[in-house]
Amino acid sequence: MKRPAEVRELRGQIRHWRRGRAELSLAEAIGDAYIAVFAAVMLGSMGISVILNLRNASGALCTSQACTTARDVMPWLFAGVEVAVCLGVARLFGPMLVSPAIGTWLLSAPVDRSSLLLPRLAGTGTAAFVVGGALAAVVGTLAGFSAGTIAAFAISTAAVCLCTVTLTTVVQARGGPAAKIATWLVAGLVWAAVVALVLQVLPAPAPQQRFSPAWLAALVVAGVLAVGSAVRAFADLPRIHRDRLTPGGSLVPSLSGALATLDLALIYDILVSRRWLARSTVRPYRGGPKGAAALVWRDLVRLRRSPQTVVVPAAAIVVPYLGARLGIGEGLVLLIGLTGFLAGLGLCSALRVLSRTPGLMRCLPLERWEVRAATLAVPAVVLVAWGLATAPAVHEAIGGTTWGTAFWVAAALGVAALTAVTRWMTAAPPDYLKPLVSSPMGAVPTSLFGSLARGFDVLLLLCAPLLLASPANGAFISLVLSGVVLTYLLNRP
């Protein structure tokens, strides 16, 4: 009996097939890549120049006690956000994953799984290290760190990001909720730090601008942790079950397809669907009112079933207060609108499903606007209440506003966020049956590029009166405009 093939042999065979189909030699490909290299160098140097200018400008403008404290704390908050995002993305994709083809052909073969997954572990770890380090370097520069401190901060943050990926791999192999708990814990700590910053109870950290032995110690600890967790992850690679490797591999082409059409709402659909697929069963809630109110009642059931859809806007309320504390003035209007819009997306899953599925809409004996209005009732209450809760921040940040006007502005911003969410959720995907226009990406439908601005366009329209007119008049005009836009969106086909 012949011995089973090794991963190296199978990979060599696949490489041989691929090279047989190559149309360019390596030299020709490098020759063609000069534009990409040139563009990367040029854009990179422009980016670095912008960052250095921003560093100088923020150093000159940030003079108040609140601003300097925030500037000192910001790198640490950012590092926390980076780790939370790293954990979230790693959990979303696995982090170890295999393509459907490899899942079918190689995972079922008697080959060593760690050899198969090692390149993926190395690639994912390198990506986390490089991206995490680069972003930390940017933030360290903006915070006014010295060159040595920037390097130490960037490398230690990068090592922690690497550690995050490798430890999530260990959890993927062994199972259990550790990665999920860690994500919420880190996010909760970052949120608590922001709250403390807003309430001015956060002690100002010792100045970190100069490189010190503490930085060296941090570097050593982060490095040891990263290497140790990477070794542990490599040892655990053969233990990862196939059913934990293939979902991430299926998710990648789905998200790639959605990104290729610049359809962000489709990405939302994919992620929501994946989340509920993982849950598989729920405790059914029966009963409730009749008619359109049945849809409202189901949204209330959703809130109970998925409390994070309310927890996220509730936690995000701290963002406008942080903006007010940093003294961003009129910019707070855009910050509140944008935060409400992004935090409110999770509330409108019913509206999204009914908008994209005509078959489901046909099952309901109601006018289209009635169905949409019913699915907006709960999000409207949450977002208007959310907007009203930002009134003290508006009162503090925008000069000359009475409390009454501040509440009007805050309510208008809550309604603006709701309208932007409705625009985002009810928009049709790009229609490839319509005339196409020529572009460097090939022929694309005219609505393709506009789909990226969807939601943000309405938000800008509704925030503009608040920026251009007096707060009281601006709030009134914004509310009237919101009413017009919402009426159109509720009735559109």
Partner 1 sequence: MPSKPPLLRVRGLRRRFGDVDVVANFDLDVRAGKAVALTGRNGSGKSTVLRCITGADRPTAGTVELDGVKVDERSPKIRRDLAVVMDDMDFFPDLSVVEHLDLFAQAHRVEDVERVVDAVLQEVGLVPQSAQLPGTLSSGQRRRLALASAFVRPRRLLVLDEPEQRLDRAGLDWLAERLSAEKAAGLGVLLASHDQTLVEAVVDNVVNLG
Residues that bind partner 1 (CB under 8 A): 272-273, 275-277, 279-292, 294-295, 298, 301-302, 305-306, 349-350, 353, 356-360, 362-368, 370
6 or 367: whose CB is closer to partner 1? 367
| Nearest approach, Cβ of residue 382 and partner 1 (Å) | 17
239 or 298: whose CB is closer to partner 1? 298
213 or 287: whose CB is closer to partner 1? 287
The encoded tokens of residue 457 equal 């366009």
CA distance 331 to 231: 47
| Nearest approach, Cβ of residue 274 and partner 1 (Å) | 9
| Nearest approach, Cβ of residue 426 and partner 1 (Å) | 15
Cα–Cα distance list, 57 to 44, 61, 141, 330 (Å):
20, 6, 12, 19
| Nearest approach, Cβ of residue 298 and partner 1 (Å) | 6
333 or 382: whose CB is closer to partner 1? 382
| Nearest approach, Cβ of residue 421 and partner 1 (Å) | 17
| Nearest approach, Cβ of residue 357 and partner 1 (Å) | 4
81 or 377: whose CB is closer to partner 1? 377
Nearest CA to 405 out of 479, 315, 331, 313 is that of: 479
DSSP state of 347: G
The encoded tokens of residue 113 equal 């799984």
DSSP state of 493: -
The encoded tokens of residue 299 equal 């949204």
Q: Which helix (H) or strand (E) holds 272?
A: helix 264-279
296 or 412: whose CB is closer to partner 1? 296
Rg of the Cα trace of the chain? 26
| Nearest approach, Cβ of residue 455 and partner 1 (Å) | 21
CA distance 162 to 86: 9
CA distance 217 to 228: 16
Cβ proximity of 336 and 390 under 8 Å: yes
113 or 372: whose CB is closer to partner 1? 372
Amino acid at 309: T
Nearest CA to 11 out of 105, 79, 92 is that of: 105
| Nearest approach, Cβ of residue 203 and partner 1 (Å) | 43
| Nearest approach, Cβ of residue 375 and partner 1 (Å) | 10
157 or 246: whose CB is closer to partner 1? 246
Query: 436 has which bridge partners?
Result: 445
203 or 287: whose CB is closer to partner 1? 287
302 or 325: whose CB is closer to partner 1? 302
| Nearest approach, Cβ of residue 493 and partner 1 (Å) | 9
CA distance 493 to 486: 13
Q: Which helix (H) or strand (E) holds 111?
A: none
DSSP secondary structure string, 420-486?
HHHHHHHPPPP-TTSPEEEETTEEEETTTTHHHHTTHHHHHHHHHHHHHS-HHHHHHHHHHHHHHHH
CA distance 63 to 67: 7
| Nearest approach, Cβ of residue 489 and partner 1 (Å) | 16
| Nearest approach, Cβ of residue 183 and partner 1 (Å) | 21
Contacts (Cβ under 8 Å, ≥6 apart) of 88: 183
φ, ψ of residue 482 to 5 degrees: the values are -60, -40
209 or 254: whose CB is closer to partner 1? 254
16 or 279: whose CB is closer to partner 1? 279
Burial class of residue 281 (count of CB atoms within 10 Å of its CB; 0-12, 13-18, 19+): exposed
Cβ proximity of 189 and 80 under 8 Å: yes
